């Protein structure tokens, strides 16, 4: 039985084991996906474990997508370009880092009918997830406004990704004035705010309306409808959750580990059932 897992902290919200194990079962492959809750201090030792023969690799999530790079032997261009890894593949005694988040976000955003052509975007956050979203948005010429408390981190993101591409971006502090009167085509939450078990939290201030006509995409997928999405629906805006992105990036990672293409429908159904079970 080969093993894969998810490195991150915390992981109680994750439904990745349900969707990946459903794919293994449906394809009759001898694999098992498990949660590997890992603090920053534990990360080097946990990554070293992945070199053992029983492991095919792992996914990586908050807060390790950038830090894990220094622990790997090679970084694929998909991850090197954005400075974040979400998938590790063991190739004999070598660990190779990839990023499937970029394509995952692009595919799911298109499934909602959102096409950007130089449109303004508000991106909440500046970490590894924000880097993937930025890389996904740049080809569409999006003009990105980062609202984040981590100004230095956002500045580095712009230096690494935005400036070399010739795209436009600005950094706004995480305060009410940055949210007030915002105009954009797309709002993306790339922070964990609103994620279970803190599902009552919302990254957009309560007293400030969301931008009129914007599509609101929350990378958080647990709960299935976040407070940000509820706010957007109440204001008549279209919404998307991170579940579609999760499934797409997960399917791409599964193929990297096994060489087999899994059913997106099977993975989506398993993830949805896992979420419904937690809400029951």
- Are the C-beta atoms of residues 140 and 114 closer than 8 Å to each other? no
| Active-site residue set | 65
| DSSP per-residue letters across 71-93 | GSSEE-HHHHTTT---EEEEETT
Spell 147-172 as b/e; 16+ CB within 10 A means b: bbebeebbeebbeebbeeeebebebb
Pairing of strands 215-218, 239-241: parallel
Cα 128-222-10 angle, rounded to 5 deg: 55
Distances (CA, A) of 212 to 87, 115, 261: 36, 17, 39
- Nearest Cα neighbor of 220 from 137, 154, 129 is 129
């Amino acid at each position: 039985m080969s093993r894969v897992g998810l490195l991150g902290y915390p992981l109680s919200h994750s439904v990745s084991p349900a969707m990946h194990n459903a794919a293994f079962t449906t394809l009759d492959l001898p694999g098992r996906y498990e949660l590997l809750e890992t603090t920053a201090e534990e990360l080097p030792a946990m990554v070293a474990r992945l070199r053992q023969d029983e492991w095919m690799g792992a996914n990586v999530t908050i807060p390790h997508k950038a830090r894990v790079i220094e622990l790997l032997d090679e970084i694929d261009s998909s991850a090197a370009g954005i400075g974040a890894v979400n998938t590790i593949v063991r190739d004999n005694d070598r660990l190779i880092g990839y990023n499937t988040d970029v394509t995952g976000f692009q595919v799911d955003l298109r499934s909602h009918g959102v096409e950007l052509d130089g449109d303004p975007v508000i991106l909440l956050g500046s970490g590894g997830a924000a880097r993937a979203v930025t890389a996904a948005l740049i080809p569409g010429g999006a003009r990105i406004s980062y609202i984040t408390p981590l100004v230095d981190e956002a500045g580095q993101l712009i230096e690494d990704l935005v400036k070399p591409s010739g795209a436009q971006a600005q950094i706004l502090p995480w305060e009410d004035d940055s949210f007030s009167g915002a105009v954009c085509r797309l709002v993306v939450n790339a922070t964990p705010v609103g994620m279970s078990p803190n599902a009552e939290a919302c990254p957009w201030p309560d007293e400030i309306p969301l931008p009129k006509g914007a599509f609101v995409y929350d990378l958080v997928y647990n709960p299935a409808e976040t407070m940000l999405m509820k706010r957007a629906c109440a204001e008549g805006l279209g919404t998307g959750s991170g579940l579609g992105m999760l499934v797409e990036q997960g399917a791409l990672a599964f193929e990297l580990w096994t060489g087999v293409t899994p059913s997106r429908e099977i993975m989506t159904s398993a993830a949805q059932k896992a979420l419904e079970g937690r809400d029951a």
